Amino acid sequence: MSTQQKAVLRIIRNLAAFNCLIIVAMGAYAYHHAMSSSEMIPLLLTSVLAIIPVALPATFTLAAAIGARALAKQGVLPTRLSAVDEAASIDVLCSDKTGTLTRNELTVTSVRPLPGFDEAHVLGMAALASSEGGQDPVDAAIRLAASHKPASGLPKLTAFLPFDPVKKTSEATATDAKGSSERIIKGAFISVVALTAPSPAASAIVDELEKQGFRVLAVAAGPGTSNEIIGLIALSDPPRTDSISLISELNGLGVRTVMVTGDAAATATIVAHAVGLQGAVGPAGKLPDGVKPEDFSVFAGVLPEGKFELVEAFQKTGHTVGMCGDGANDAPALRQAQIGIAVSTATDVAKSAAGVVLTEAGLGGIVAAVKEGRVTFQRILTYTLNSVQKKVFQALLLAVGLVMTGHAVLTPMLMVIVMITGDFLAMSLTTDRVRPSKMPNSWQIGRITSAGVILGLCFLAFSTTILAVGKFQLHLGIEALQTLTVVSIVFGSQATTYVIRGRQHLWGLRPSIWLVLSSVADVLIISTLATFGIAMAPLPVAVIAAEFGAAVAFGAILDVAKIPVFARLRIS
């Protein structure tokens, strides 16, 4: 269950508790006034029906499914529907470097053999410690470079250990022409040098190459544990041309991008600056206590378990985190983040742990997920406001009607009609056009509840006025008053739905065709039932038309009144 779903269910739970108190009060009032059980039981049954959010699960699922379908067309595949909701609220994106900010087109730019070795031999030995036919871009680049500079006298491969993301090395065992066994190690310089004798010359070369923005690998070889570094390989992976604009767009949406990579700090910094990340580089090793995304723009030399710790640290400071990953060891971090994002080259384990899977490289899919998530959020927010005001209104209207008329102003059958027409209209909101928010969304339960209560009281004033006119001016009997009430609820729901669907004036955004068709169907159904007296007492057409006109006027007034309410409660 997503954060949004939990928040909305908390709101509905609180409203149910409030409405239960209203029901108990009505029961006590009816009992005190000696209402017969034949009237009291339907009254209480109607009240219970009024507080049940029947369309809640279906509306959530439908809104998320529509969002997921829209994302699929943009190359973003949600693995669970809740991920569509969560994308609306992220304010930090932990992005990997290779393939997301860069092109993932690694090429060998420079080979620096140490004394006693040549470029062809270093490349040949590195190729022996590289996987063949796999999807590892580093190994593919090295094998391609080695094929262009074939070396003679290389040992024969006998065993191979693929790249270990924890050790940051891959290994091979080979036999030379004399039958002697030789161990070959290829990987990050800091990991390889820990297994060999210190080499000041190699350290100086690594420092030089990393300052130029290259990713540097060391190659070591030797019998058994007597290994020495034989050369260094510099690889380049140019930044994607769209990375700068997409990071800028995310920043405009209120999402801070932080690079998280296993590469050296010097290399990561150059790439970060090339894509527009100008902040500081995080310290190597243990994360600082209370680290925040705004403290650093780059975290380099990060192990897979470090990604999990980084996500957890950001969450502890109140941030909602999106995390990119591609390897099996990234799965814990992808699962911990509010929305895990598996990049296009990710393993099956990473994809299963992530909330969304990108089918194309780059940040474009992430930007699309954020935007579509906010569209879905606004649709669910509209439904939630609609549901809150209706639940408050309906329970109070039954209580006011009981006091005003001495009878139940709705029967169970009429309440079922209200529920069917209301839920049909509410579910169509999942297709509506909305204005996505400019900043990350969050569920302010108190403010949303307050806004819903205020709107519900306005709706109560409208229907109570209609009821009072029917009783005291038109002198209608209780059955006609019940029809008058159900028509006022359906027509009033039309007005409140169109008012609530936007945080600005209702004429600023054209409704979807499904919302319009649902409205027309609701109005025609209730008007037909009320005119011909089907399942209710009949009313003159003039009275129904007058109610419709009153609902239009009510909507116009409410549209003006909502602006200061939403502004005061900061609902956008």
Residues carrying an active site annotation: 96
Residues 6+ apart with CB under 8 A from 30: 39, 40, 43, 402
- DSSP for 137-174, written as a single string: HHHHHHHHHHHHS--SSPPEEEEEEEEETTTTEEEEEE
Residue with tokens 């009878």: 407
> How many residues does the structure list for the chain?
572
- From residue 169, give the alpha-carbon distance in Å to each of 255, 264, 490: 34, 14, 68
Residues 6+ apart with CB under 8 A from 475: none
Question: For residues 143 and 236, what is the distance between their CA atoms, to the nearest angstrom?
Answer: 15
Do residues 196 and 220 lie in contact, with contact meaning Cβ atoms separated by under 8 Å? yes
Residues 6+ apart with CB under 8 A from 82: 1, 2, 5, 64, 355
Strand 156-164 relative to strand 169-175: parallel, antiparallel, unpaired?
antiparallel
Residue 34 burial by CB count (10 A; 0-12/13-18/19+): exposed, middle or buried? exposed
Give the 3-state secondary structure of 403-433. HHHCCCCCCHHHHHHHHHHHHHHHHHHHHCC
Residue 205 burial by CB count (10 A; 0-12/13-18/19+): exposed, middle or buried? buried
